[in-house]
Amino acid sequence: MTGEASGWFGRWLLPGLAFKAAVIGGGYATGREIAEFFLPAGPWGGLAGLTLATLIWSGMCVLTFLFARASGARDYRSFFEALLGRGWIAFELAYAFFVVLVLAVFGAAAGEIGHAVLGAPKAVGTLVLLLGVTLFAAFGNAMVERLFAWVSILLYGVYGLFLVLALGAFGHDIAAAFSAPIAVGPTAFVGGATYAGYNIIGAVIILPVTRHLLSDRDAVTAGLIAGPLAMIPAFVFFVCMCAYAPEVAGAALPSDVLLAKLNLPVFRLLFQLMVFAALLESGAGAVHGINERIAGPFQARLGRVFGVRARAVSALVVLIFCMVLAQRVGLVGLIAGGYRLLACALFALYVAPLITVGLARLVRGPVFQPEVP
């Protein structure tokens, strides 16, 4: 990974794979978020919403990576200190809400998977995820980047196989769903903008991997690629989901509904393993972002490296709180209730400042002292 990360893989693909890891866990991988934000718009409206979200992600990733290079930021605190000044504290509060929310969703999803596949108590799946995220987050950048790369191979492969099997098993139902007249209403764009809005924070979470970017051209290339890399599995899943829209609309695990239609026990186990791996990489990415935020001040004030033990303790404290919340609220309630509020907060504190103040600074030229890679 070290050699690859210093070449085209690390400069162009790794940021996109990391961004995919930041957004695909929890409700995306299980299909719950796709059902919540895109299914109400209908087949064609849902595709339009997914396309809008992809474009927003790519555009915001490009601006985020360019601004991070210009300001020398490699974690979200330094990024927002450069963008918002003292207002970075407001983003810190929003980010704390985001972490609690998404890790709670990951924990709830892991519990649902363990219960659906193995019949185990939901707390078992949540605990296994907690331990896995702690293990990977404890060893820092190199371990987390390896996780992004290997899980990506599993994830894209399983989604591709899922599409082939779904077209063979109920392709006629998918075709029937898309035979309806093309209709794209406001619901499609509201869903796409909302979904893109709260997930775009992933571009800031993954700032540690942007240390591999060697030029502004790398930042633009990586940002443009990031949107499609993160959204391709969502397009695949949404198309298949349209065949049984009424059944999956309220299901906690829409993926399991579709897998039951395939009636392939081995593939069902493989798919749920992939979903769990997606939860693992997303959780590790979120917690790693927190650890990197802590590492700088920790070393500056105490003169010691924020090592493996400290990272593990930090991860455990965050995860235990969030997983307890997951057990009390549940997956559907977390996604339906918290994400729209988060999208509004992130637009005010991140999207709007970056596309106005941040873009203006970038256009005027280098007003920061960028960190030399």
What SS3 string covers 147-185? HHHHHHHHHHHHHHHHHHHHHHHHHHHHHHHHCCCCCCC
pLDDT surpassing 50 at residue 160: yes
| DSSP classification of residue 370 | P
Task: Report which of residues 112 and 351 the model is more confident about.
Answer: 351
Give the amino acid at 69: R
Residues 221, 212 contacting (CB under 8 angstroms): no
Average pLDDT over residues 80-98: 88
Instruction: Report the half-sphere exposure of 303 (CA within 13 A, side-chain side).
Output: 0
**Per-residue pLDDT, 373:** 40
**Per-residue pLDDT, 356:** 95
**Per-residue pLDDT, 327:** 61
From the number of C-beta atoms within 10 Å of its C-beta (0-12, 13-18, 19+), residue 72 rates as middle
**Per-residue pLDDT, 326:** 58
Residues 28, 169 contacting (CB under 8 angstroms): no
Band of pLDDT at residue 351, cut at 50, 70 and 90: very high
Nearest to 65 by CA among 211, 193, 197: 211
Average pLDDT over residues 201-209: 90
**13-364 has CATH 1.20.1740.10 classification:** yes
3-class DSSP assignment, residue 349: helix
Query: CA–CA separation, 131 vs 7, rounded Å?
Result: 32
Dihedrals phi, psi of 209, to nearest 5 degrees: -80, -15
pLDDT surpassing 50 at residue 72: yes
Token pair for 80:
């927002």
Global pTM reads: 0.85
Q: What ranges do the domains of the chain cover?
A: 13-364
